Amino acid sequence: MWKLLKYLKKYKLESILAPLLKMTEAMFDLLVPLVMAQIIDVGIHNRDTGQILKMGGVLVLLGLIGLAFSLTAQYFSAKAAAGFGTAVRNELFKHINSLSYREIDTIGTSTLITRITSDINQVQSGVNLVLRLFLRSPFIVFGAMVMAFTVNVRAAMIFVVAIPLLSVVVFGVLLVSMPLYKKVQRQLDRVLLTTRENLLGARVVRAFNRQPDEIKKFDEENDLLVRSQVFVGKVSALMNPATYIIVNAATIVLVWTGAWEVDEGIITQGEVVALVNYMSQILVELVKLANLIITISKSLACANRISAVFDVEGSIKEQNHGKIVTEAEKARVSADISAADAEGRDRTSAESGKAAGVPAAVPKVEFTNMDFCYAGAQEASLSDISFTAMSGQTIGVIGGTGSGKSTLVNLIPRFYDVTNGSVRIDGTDVRDYPVGQLRDRIGVVPQKAVLFKGTLRENMLWGKADATDEEIYRALDIAQAREFVDSKEQGLDLPVEQGGRNLSGGQRQRLTIARALVRRPEILILDDSASALDFATDAALRKAIRENTKNMTVFLVSQRATTIRNADKILVLDDGQLVGQGTHEELFDTCEVYREICLSQLSEKEVRAHG
């Protein structure tokens, strides 16, 4: 929690003024019983209408002044709390975006959504209440007791006994209920998780007709939540009757004692009423304080969860020989890498008949003895992977489910860092690149086609912010998306719903491919991104990419042998091992795994015919 307080720095003045103004308001509240005593003892006792009106005016004035201080305090506390929540939310969002796939996989998407929404809202509410009540309520409780001593010492001794008893009841109930509230919060998280899973998987649930099972599961989780809430509610409900019994008992004793003292002339009737008012103020403020502490306990739990996310450091860091680079160093490294890239591109393969010793072309992508293991995994997902991809080559990646195909290509743009070995682009380790520069050179089309709410043009500009309409239409032509875009008759202003839900699966995939092609990357990664396309469209797409991306290194990840068979080099993965690399013909004759994949999809005659 303390780590988050730094986000209140911009609101120091508001954070100081809010509690001070509330305490000022409390001072005026403490004066009200004394004014009432004056009205009773002087105005009513002497039937002095002028005094009654005068003191009544004082009461109204105190009320208006207190209202003004209260509203001002509410404004400052709300401003500080809302600013605090905004700052934390912005910083947490920025921090989440700095995390690599490894950290996001470990924490979980649903957890991060909860932290940045409901948890921050809870902490924001806690900050607001603390600024308004944390000082005011104790001030009223002890202030009322002090004021009671100024009225009558003997009667005030009742306060000395009543306040500790009230505190024992209030804080005793709190000690019991606070762990129960945390349990309720955890159960609420489970209900939210169940709801989220059901909504995200609604189509699967309906496809398998599992609605009754899901309803039963939700009912069980919800019933447990209700039972927990009812139980903690019953415990908390003990607070009001217990405190009212103590306060009313103290009031009875106070009135009884006061009556005798009034009869003996020791105390006036107005002073007895003032003491009763002070007792009522103490009751109200203790209940407020109890509710405040419950809110604070929830807020602290949420703040700790938020801090835990802030404590997670991204594993992807821009480095230079193991040290995180400064902005100046970053610019220098960027310039050095750009120069090295230019040199690498200028080198050509040693031609036949030329003198020995002429350097060979630098591979566009090179994996050297690379191992990779996911966080928390017992075994490596990829082991001892070595291969090269030259500029302009098309590299096919194929293998069974879970063989590591997507993991392999995700290492190129450095979505994950390798465990051992290296991944190099133009001869430079990807860990030595500034991350932004590295990813600007790579176009990635992930397995799941993700589009954002907006227009088609806005989605295409994700690939290149300053792309012209001509460049976008060229990318749509290559991605085989131009025909259906033109059929919509809205051109690049075609509205796209969130996630592209107003488009078919094949249309979404073609648009995501076009988005990557708009930037004309040096390296294009198609991670099984044509799975929803028919064979004819898939073939036309591959042909268009091959003809229009002469110097682009393309990685084709696919389950289909027909998709990658014409690649310049094919990588065959099996259980995290690179069991073969070469052309289609070479692998079909020499790699058993590749042969099995091909024959499971095509006959041997078809494989040979298309080879």
Quick one: pLDDT at residue 1?
A: 61
- pLDDT tens per residue, range 258-282: 888 887 878 888 888 888 888 888 8
Write out the DSSP string of 500-550: GTTS-HHHHHHHHHHHHHHT--SEEEEESTTTTS-HHHHHHHHHHHHHH-T
Quick one: pLDDT at residue 64?
A: 92
Work out the pLDDT band at 473, boundaries 50, 70, 90. very high
Quick one: pLDDT at residue 322?
A: 40
Fold of 365-610: Rossmann fold (3.40.50)
pLDDT higher than threshold 60 for residue 337: no
Work out the pLDDT band at 330, boundaries 50, 70, 90. very low
Burial of 52 (0-12, 13-18, 19+ CB in 10 A): middle
User: Mean pLDDT over residues 323-332, rounded?
Assistant: 44
Q: Can you say how many angstroms the Cα of residue 434 is from the centroid of all Cα atoms in its chain? A: 25
Identify the residue with better confidence: 107 or 576: 576
Identify the CATH homologous superfamily for domain 2-311: ABC transporter type 1, transmembrane domain (1.20.1560.10)
* C-alpha count within 13 angstroms, C-beta hemisphere, residue 295: 20
pLDDT higher than threshold 80 for residue 343: no
Given CA atoms 573, 575, 576, 579 in this order, what sign does their dihedral have? negative
β-strand partners of 443? 524
Quick one: pLDDT at residue 328?
A: 44
Identify the residue with better confidence: 364 or 1: 364
Work out the pLDDT band at 554, boundaries 50, 70, 90. very high
**What is the chain's percent helix, strand, coil content, to nearest 5?**
65, 10, 25
pLDDT higher than threshold 90 for residue 113: no
Given CA atoms 13, 18, 21, 27 in this order, what sign does their dihedral have? negative
Identify the residue with better confidence: 434 or 290: 434
Who contacts 378 (Cβ-Cβ below 8 Å, separation ≥6)? none
pLDDT higher than threshold 50 for residue 120: yes
User: Among residues of the chain, what percentage have pLDDT more than 70?
Assistant: 91
- pLDDT tens per residue, range 232-263: 888 877 777 887 788 788 888 888 888 888 87
The H or E element that residue 562 is part of is helix 561-564
Which amino acid, one-letter code, is at 321? H
Quick one: pLDDT at residue 325?
A: 43
Of the listed ranges 187-201, 324-338, 385-399, 547-561, the one predicted with least confidence = 324-338
Per-domain residue ranges of the chain: 2-311, 365-610
Of the listed ranges 77-86, 283-292, 353-362, 436-445, the one predicted with least confidence = 353-362
Whether residue 510 contacts residue 487, with contact meaning beta carbons closer than 8 Å, is answered with no
The H or E element that residue 570 is part of is strand 569-574
CA dist list (Å): 463 to 82, 457, 466, 555: 35, 10, 9, 18
Degrees, nearest 5: CA angle 522-528-523: 5
- How far apart, in whole angstroms, are the C-alpha atoms of residue 217 and residue 338? 57
pLDDT higher than threshold 60 for residue 344: no
User: Among residues of the chain, what percentage have pLDDT more than 90?
Assistant: 23
Work out the pLDDT band at 573, boundaries 50, 70, 90. very high
User: Mean pLDDT over residues 10-24, rounded?
Assistant: 89
Work out the pLDDT band at 320, boundaries 50, 70, 90. low
Residue with tokens 């059929």: 487
Locate all alpha helices (DSSP H) within 152-201, ordered by sequence: 153-200
Whether residue 477 contacts residue 540, with contact meaning beta carbons closer than 8 Å, is answered with no
Helix/strand/coil (H, E, C) string of 366-398? EEEEEEECCCCCCCCCEEEEEEEECCCCEEEEE
Quick one: pLDDT at residue 610?
A: 52
Whether residue 578 contacts residue 380, with contact meaning beta carbons closer than 8 Å, is answered with no
- Picking from 388, 396, 413, 409, the residue whose alpha carbon sits closest to that of residue 559 is 396
Who contacts 431 (Cβ-Cβ below 8 Å, separation ≥6)? 319, 414, 417, 422
pLDDT higher than threshold 90 for residue 89: yes
Work out the pLDDT band at 572, boundaries 50, 70, 90. very high
Work out the pLDDT band at 500, boundaries 50, 70, 90. confident
Quick one: pLDDT at residue 267?
A: 81
Quick one: pLDDT at residue 84?
A: 93
CA dist list (Å): 444 to 448, 450, 586: 11, 12, 28
- Name the DSSP class of 442: E
Task: State the chain's mean pLDDT as an integer.
Answer: 83
Work out the pLDDT band at 388, boundaries 50, 70, 90. very high
- Picking from 133, 139, 131, the residue whose alpha carbon sits closest to that of residue 16 is 131
